[in-house]
């Protein structure tokens, strides 16, 4: 969540000095999951076939929501890669906006849905998004 409504307005208008926050954060979120095994001990490399990162601005909550979807062909889950994508995208928003709003928080990072792997399908009881 952003502390100052002016910060979200800057993001939406493309007025942040470091550039287009949403585009750069989306790119960072796509790149992040590929580094998951380097960041998290005992997390094995996965051959991802797709990484999709969506960022949306919510003026009512003064927040940028980040949702990531990771896919692969295989019998294992990719929830750690998806969580890494969301976290890296959210940290990129923070990095690009910290000069105008150091009070930002990254909150509610969680798994919303998982299909496949040994444990089968799982879904969160809540439908709210992950926020930065």
pLDDT tens for 16-51 read: 999 999 999 999 999 999 999 999 999 989 899 999
- pTM confidence score: 0.90
Q: What is the pLDDT of residue 4?
A: 87
Cα–Cα distance between 50 and 47 in angstroms, integer? Answer: 9
Token code pair at residue 98: 């910290």
How many C-beta atoms surround the C-beta of residue 33 within 10 A? 23
pLDDT digits (tens, 9 = 90+) for 57-94: 999 999 999 999 999 987 788 999 999 999 999 999 99
Options 20, 58, 95, 101, the catalytic residue: 95
Whether residue 116 is predicted with pLDDT greater than 80 in this model: the reply is no
Average pLDDT for the chain: 91
Print the domain residue range for 63.
Answer: 5-131
Number of neighbours of residue 10 by Cβ within 10 angstroms? 19
Domain containing residue 122: CATH number: 3.30.70.640
Whether 95 is catalytic is yes
Give the closest residue to 19 by CA, choosing from 105, 97, 100, 101.
97
User: In the chain, how many domains are there?
Assistant: 1
């Amino acid at each position: 969540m952003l502390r100052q409504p002016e910060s979200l307005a800057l993001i939406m208008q493309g007025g942040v000095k470091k550039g287009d926050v949403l585009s750069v954060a989306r790119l960072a979120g796509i790149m992040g999951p590929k580094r998951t095994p380097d960041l998290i001990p005992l997390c094995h490399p996965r051959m991802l076939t797709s990484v999709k990162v969506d960022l949306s601005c919510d003026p009512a909550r003064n927040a940028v929501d980040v949702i990531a979807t990771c896919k692969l062909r295989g019998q294992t889950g990719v929830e750690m890669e998806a969580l890494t994508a969301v976290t890296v995208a959210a940290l990129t928003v923070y990095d690009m906006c910290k000069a105008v709003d150091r009070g930002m928080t990254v909150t509610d990072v969680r798994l919303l849905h998982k299909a496949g792997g040994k444990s089968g399908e799982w879904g969160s009881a809540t439908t709210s998004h992950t926020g930065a």
